[in-house]
């Protein structure tokens, strides 16, 4: 169980994944060591969505007010956000390791996607043919996280999925989309994990002289 981060302000958020779904997954810091949840509250979740460009401030204010009036909506939203985040971590970290996504991760992702406000429908046309259209199915209480679910699903199905990488530091859980021309990026952040790896190599070289 990740430790809660009671802060949840923009200063605690980090964006190094080069993809919104990966940045969302990375909001559990130190997942493989002592995990800290940066989105432990509804307020933190909404603040992150603004910082990530997934909600504007007016939308976030509206959702803040709604969740204060109806706390059960906020708890449902937070619970589904955590479900989505875990599903994306399980699926995308498997892909980064060259393995197929676990079936239970895809099932969890699909359950979140089912909250969307639109669905594809095939219907007959006046000339006897068929047409497919996107039709509204009603308001979704999960609207703030639906774009993340859809982007995560698209990434899992994309031809560039092989560009999703896990940080080469063994105990780091950071995922990122490698946009480097050579496709050889190793570290989630050079200033942290990359520099630590370089320092470790330097220490071992000196120790074995």
Summarize pLDDT for 138-156 with one digit per residue, the tens: 678 899 999 999 999 999 9
Banded pLDDT at 121 (limits 50, 70, 90): confident
> No. of H helices and E strands in the chain?
7, 7
Of 42, 38, 78, whose CA–CA distance to 60 is shortest? 42
Q: Is the dihedral of CA 154, 156, 159, 165 positive or negative?
A: positive
Lowest-confidence region among 49-63, 64-78, 131-145, 161-175: 131-145
DSSP of 164-178:
EEE-SSTT---EEE-
- Could you tell me the pTM of the whole model? 0.83
Architecture of domain 3-115+144-207: Orthogonal Bundle (1.10)
Q: Are 183 and 201 in contact (CB under 8 A)?
A: no
The residue among 136 and 186 whose pLDDT is bigger is: 186
What's the CA gap between 27 and 142, in Å, rounded?
A: 18
The pLDDT, as a whole number, for residue 125 is 78
Sheet holding 36-37, edge to edge: 3-4, 36-37, 28-29
Of 91, 149, 94, 87, whose CA–CA distance to 116 is shortest? 149
Pairing of strands 164-166, 175-177: antiparallel
What's the CA gap between 195 and 144, in Å, rounded?
A: 36
Q: How far is CA 156 from CA 26, 81, 100, 105, 200, in A?
A: 16, 18, 10, 11, 34
The pLDDT, as a whole number, for residue 147 is 92
Pairing of strands 3-4, 36-37: parallel
What's the CA gap between 98 and 162, in Å, rounded?
A: 8
* Domain layout of the chain by residue ranges: 3-115+144-207
Average pLDDT of the residues of the chain: 86
What's the CA gap between 162 and 178, in Å, rounded?
A: 9
Banded pLDDT at 10 (limits 50, 70, 90): low
Burial of 106 (0-12, 13-18, 19+ CB in 10 A): middle
Q: Are 111 and 78 in contact (CB under 8 A)?
A: no
Q: Average pLDDT, stretch 84-112?
A: 94
């Amino acid at each position: 169980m990740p430790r809660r981060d009671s802060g949840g302000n923009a200063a605690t958020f980090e964006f190094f994944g080069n993809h919104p779904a990966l940045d969302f997954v990375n909001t559990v810091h130190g997942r493989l060591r002592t995990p800290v949840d940066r989105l432990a509250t509804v307020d933190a979740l909404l603040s992150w969505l603004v910082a990530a460009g997934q909600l504007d401030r007016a939308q976030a204010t509206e959702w803040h007010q709604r969740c204060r009036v109806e706390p059960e909506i906020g708890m449902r939203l937070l619970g589904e956000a955590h479900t989505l985040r875990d599903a994306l971590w399980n699926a995308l970290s498997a892909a980064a390791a060259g393995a197929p996504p676990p079936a239970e991760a895809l099932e969890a992702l699909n359950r979140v996607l089912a909250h969307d406000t639109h669905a594809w429908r095939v219907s007959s046309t006046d000339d006897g043919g068929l047409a497919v259209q996107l039709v509204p199915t009603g308001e979704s209480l999960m609207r703030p996280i639906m774009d993340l679910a859809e982007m995560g699903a698209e990434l899992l199905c994309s031809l560039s999925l092989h560009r999703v990488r896990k940080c080469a530091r063994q105990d780091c859980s950071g995922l990122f989309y490698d946009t480097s021309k050579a496709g050889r990026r190793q570290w989630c952040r050079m200033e942290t994990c990359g520099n630590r790896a370089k320092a470790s190599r330097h220490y071992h070289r000196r120790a074995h002289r």
